[in-house]
Structure 1
Amino acid sequence: MRIEARFLSSRRFRYSSWLWLRRAVFWGGALSVGLVAVAFARAATLADQAFHVLLSFSPLVVLVLTPAGLWLSLWLTRRVFPGAEGSGIPQTIAALEISDQKARGKVLSLRLALGKILLTLLALCCGASVGREGPTVQVGAAIMHDLGRWVRLTRREIQRGLILAGGAAGVAAAFNTPLAGVVFAIEELSRSFEARTNGLVLTAVILAGITSLALVGNYHYFGHADAGMELGQAWVAVLACGVSGGLLGGIFSQSLILAGRRGLPGPVGRFKARYPERFAAACGLVLALIGLASGGATYGTGYEQAAQALHGAAPPLGFALEKMLATMASYLSGIPGGIFAPSLSIGAGIGAEWGRWLVGTPAAVLVLLGMVGYFSGVVQAPITAVVIVLEMTDNSNMTIPLLTTSVIAYGVSKLICPEPFYKAMAVAFLERIGKSKDPV
C-alpha cells in the first residue's frame, strides 16, 4: 500500500509540475507578446513619422522612395525571411493545420517574427498601405509556439492552443481590445470553439492586455466616439453601409484570392512571375501615383484618416476607392504588411462618402457603420468586426445597428467571395510550402 501511495503521489507531482510548466509558458508567452506588440506599435508610429519627414522635403520623393523600398522589402523577404510575406494571419491559420514541426517552422519562428516586424516597419517608412495588426498576430503566434517548442510541449492540442493564444494575444495587444482578441481566435483563427484551449486563450489575452495597459494606459484605438442613433432612423444608413461595404469588401478579397491562386492574368502576371522584385517596384510606383493623386491621404495605415473621419473631419472625395487600390497594390507586391488598419480606414471613407448623401444621419454614425461593413466584407468575420470597432471606439450605443450592418455585409460579400479571405490565403500558403492540410 505504501509503495502504491508513493507511486500515486509521484504521478500527481509529475502531472502537477507539467501542468504548472504549461501554465508558465502560456503566461510568460502572453506577457512577451504584449511587450513586443507595444514596442511594435511605437516603432510603427515612428516609421510613419519618418516617412512624412522625408515627404516634407518634396511630395515627389515617393516616386523614388516607394518603388525602391518595396523592391528592397520583397528582396529581403524572398532571400532572408521567406514565409514573412503578406499579413501573417494566413500563416498562423496554416500553422494550426500542420503537425510536422519542421514544416511549421517555415511559417512560425522567432526569426520570421523579427523579419515580419522589420519589414513591416520598412514598408511603413516607404508609404505602403499596410498595417501592423495582422503581422502582430503572426509574431504573437511565433513567440508562443517557440516557447512551447523550447520546453518540449509536444502534444498537438497544446501546440494548437499556444498558436491560438499567441494570435489572440497579438490582436488584443495591438488594438488594446481584449474581447476582440478572444472573438478573433474563435471566429477567424480556429473557426471553432475548443473547450480544451479556451481558458488558455482567455488567460493569454488578459495578460497581454494587462501588459499593454501598464505600458500605454487605458486608451482606445480611435478614441471615444459618442455616436448614437434611433433604430428606426438607422435602417437606410445600415442598409447602405452594409451593402456597399460587403460589395467592395467582397471584390477586394476575391481579387486577391484569385491573384494568389491563379496569378495575375496576361503580361502582368508573366512579368510578376519572372521579375518579382521589379513587379514590387512597379506596385510601389502605383502607390506613389495614387498617393500624389490623393494629396498624400493613402500612405501608411490610414489610422489618422479614420480617426479624423470619426471625429468630424471627412477624408477627401474618393478616398475609400483610392485607399482600396493602394492596399491592393501593397498586398499584391508580396511585401509583409497587414490589411486590418487599411480596411478600417477604407470603411471609414465609405461611411464618409454616404454622409454626403444621407445628410440627416450623424457623420460619426456613418463612419462606424462603414468601418464595420467593409471590414466584415473583407474578412467575413462579422462578430469580430463588430466587437473590434465597439472596443476601439468605446461606444456601446451602436451595437444593434453595427451588428445588422455586419451581417448584411457578410451576406453580400459571400455572394461575391464564397471562401473567407484568410482561410483561402492559408490554403494557398499550405500549397506553396508543399504541405497538404492535416485533418483537424
Structure 2
Amino acid sequence: MAFIYWLRLHLKKAFDRIRNENLKKNALTAIPFWIASIITGLVAVLYTKLFLAAENLTAYVIGLHTWLIFILVPVCFLVAWWLVQKFSPYSKGSGIPQVMASIQIMGPKNEEKINRFLSIKVIVVKVMSSLVMALGGGAIGREGPTIQIAASVFKIVYSVLPKWWPKIAKRNMIVTGAAAGLAAAFNTPLGGIVFAIEELTKTHFSYFKTAIFSSVIIAGLSAQALLGPYLYLGYPKIDGLSPYIFLGVALVAIISGLLGSGMSKVILMLFAWKARFQFKRDHVFYVLGCSAIMVVLAFFVDKGILGSGKELMQTTLFTSQKYSVWYMPILRITGPLLSFTTGAAGGIFAPALGAGASVGSLVSGWLHLSETNSNLLILSGMVGFLTGVTRSPFTSVILVLEMTDRHSVIFHLILAGMIASLVSIIIDKHSLYDHLKTQYIKDLEYRPEPLTENVTEGPVQGDAKAKPTQYQ
C-alpha cells in the first residue's frame, strides 16, 4: 500500500507539470489500460506454462502406470471442486459468463456483487482449481479462465486509481480486459477484438475502440516476449482443394453445430438437476461419479477422453492419422460435459474445438478425403462446434484462422460458422454462456437499477461527470 501511495503521489506531480490539458487527460486515461494489459500478458504466460506442466505431468503419470488414473482423477476432481466451493463459488466453470454478468449488472450499487465475479481471490482460486483439474485429466481449457482472470486484473487496476484520475468507465475496462485475455491466451489479437464486439458488449464500439486495440496489442506482445511468436496450432496443409468441398464443409457444420448446441443443452439440464441437491454430500457423490465415468472410459475405451483436446487437433491436422474412430466425438463431448458440470474451474473453448475436430475428422473418413480436404473439414468442425456452444460464428472463424494462419479458406470457414449458427437454433435459441450469465445474475438476486455509468461517462463521484475519450 505504501508503494501504491508513493506511486500515486509522484504520478500526480509528474502530470501536473503537463500544460496541455487534452494531452494530460488522454495520457492518464490510457495508462491504466496499458498497465493492466502488460500484467495480463505476464499472468497469461505464467498460467499457460503451469497448465501445460499439469497436462504433461498427467501424461507422465498415466504413461508410468495407467492404473494410477483410478486414484489421480477422482482425487483431483474432488479437490478442484472443493477449492471453488470453499473459497470462491463464482470461480467455477469457464469464467466468460461471469464476465458477461459483471458487464450487465455494472453500477456503483452492485460493486460487492461484481467483486464475487472479478477479484484477486477469484484469480487465485480460478488458477488453482483449473490446474488441479488439468492434473486430473479433466477435459477443460485455460482460455475461458484466462478471460475472467484478465477482466479481474483490469478491474483491480481500475480500483486503485486515485480520485483525481480522469473518469474511466469500468464497464469498458472489463470488456477490454476480457478481449486482452482471449488475445493473450490464444495469441489471436483479431479474435480478442471480435470477441469483445460479438459476445461481450452491446455498446457502440467507437467509444472505446482505441482502448481495445492498444490493450490487445500490448497484452499479446507481453505474452510473445516470453513465449515467442507462435501459432496455437500450427500450419496445416491446405491446398489443391476440391471444388465441391463446400458440400463437405456444410455437412460438417450441420453436424458439429447441432452437437455443440446439444452438448450445451445437456450441460444446462445437469446444472438444473444439480440445483435440486439439498446436501453437500450429493455434490460430492456427483463429482466422484463424473470422475469414475471418466476413469472407466479412459482405461477401457480410449485415453482420448482426457485433457483439453489440443492433442487430438494436432494429431488430426499434422499427422497421417486423419480419420478418428467412430466413438471419438462421443468421448470428446462426454469429457467436457462431465468435467464442466462438476463445478470446478475450467473452460470449454479448447474442448469445444477438440470435439469439433473429431467430428470433421470422422466425416473425412466417411468420405475418404485427401489430406488437404480432410484438414479443411477438421477446421470447419472446430468452427461449427464452437459456434454451436457460443453462438459467435465470427469469433469462432477468426480464432481458427489466427490459430492456423490459413486465411485462404476464410470463406469456407465463414460458411461453416453461419450454417452452424443457424442449425444450432433448432436445439436452443440462446448460447450456453447466455443461459449461465442469466443464472449467475439470478443467484445474486439482482434487481435492475438506473444506470449511472455508460459508454459516454464514467462512474459518478459526487456530481462529477467525464467526457468520453477513446479509452472510455
Q: TM (normalized to structure 1)?
A: 0.92
Q: How many angstroms apart in 2 are the aligned matches of 1:144 and 1:30?
A: 8
- 8 A Cα contact 2:93 2:347, kept in partner: yes
Q: Which residue in the other structure is 1:324 paired with?
A: 333
Partner-residue secondary structure (3-state), 2:367: coil
Where do 1:12-411 residues align within 5 Å? 16-98=23-105, 99=107, 100-152=110-162, 158-228=169-239, 230=241, 232-260=243-271, 262-264=272-274, 270=277, 275-312=282-319, 313-314=321-322, 315-361=324-370, 362-411=373-422
Partner-residue secondary structure (3-state), 2:219: helix
**Deviation at 1:277?**
2.5
**Deviation at 1:195?**
2.0
1:257/1:155 CA distance change after superposition, 3 Å: farther
Q: How many angstroms apart in 1 are the aligned matches of 2:17 and 2:55?
A: 56
Unaligned runs of at least 5 residues, structure 2: 1-15, 455-472
- 8 A Cα contact 2:265 2:432, kept in partner: yes
Q: How many angstroms apart in 2 are the aligned matches of 1:374 and 1:157?
A: 37
Q: How many angstroms apart in 2 are the aligned matches of 1:295 and 1:11?
A: 65
Q: How many angstroms apart in 2 are the aligned matches of 1:316 and 1:142?
A: 41
- 8 A Cα contact 1:294 1:319, kept in partner: no
- 8 A Cα contact 2:274 2:283, kept in partner: no
Q: Which shifted more, 362-371 or 331-340?
A: 362-371
Q: Which shifted more, 376-385 or 269-278?
A: 269-278
The amino acid of 2:61's aligned partner reads L
**Deviation at 1:278?**
2.6
CA offset digits 1:168-203 (Å, max 9, x no partner): 011101010100000011111224543212210111
1:120/1:235 CA distance change after superposition, 3 Å: same
Q: How many angstroms apart in 2 are the aligned matches of 1:272 and 1:347?
A: 36
1:415/1:299 CA distance change after superposition, 3 Å: same
Partner-residue secondary structure (3-state), 1:378: helix
CA offset digits 1:108-128 (Å, max 9, x no partner): 002211211111111000111
Q: Which shifted more, 325-334 or 360-369?
A: 360-369
**Deviation at 1:107?**
0.3
- 8 A Cα contact 2:100 2:437, kept in partner: yes
- 8 A Cα contact 2:28 2:166, kept in partner: no
Instruction: Report the number of matched residues.
Output: 428
The amino acid of 1:189's aligned partner reads L
What is the alpha-carbon root mean square deviation over aligned residues? Answer: 2.3
- 8 A Cα contact 2:79 2:129, kept in partner: no
Unaligned runs of at least 5 residues, structure 1: 1-8
- 8 A Cα contact 1:231 1:401, kept in partner: no
- 8 A Cα contact 1:128 1:299, kept in partner: yes
Q: How many angstroms apart in 1 are the aligned matches of 2:239 and 2:334?
A: 31
1:301/1:166 CA distance change after superposition, 3 Å: same
Q: Which residue in the other structure is 2:462 paired with?
A: none
- 8 A Cα contact 2:358 2:378, kept in partner: yes
CA offset digits 1:67-90 (Å, max 9, x no partner): 121111111111112210000000
Q: How many angstroms apart in 2 are the aligned matches of 1:38 and 1:240?
A: 37
1:216/1:51 CA distance change after superposition, 3 Å: same
Partner-residue secondary structure (3-state), 1:334: coil
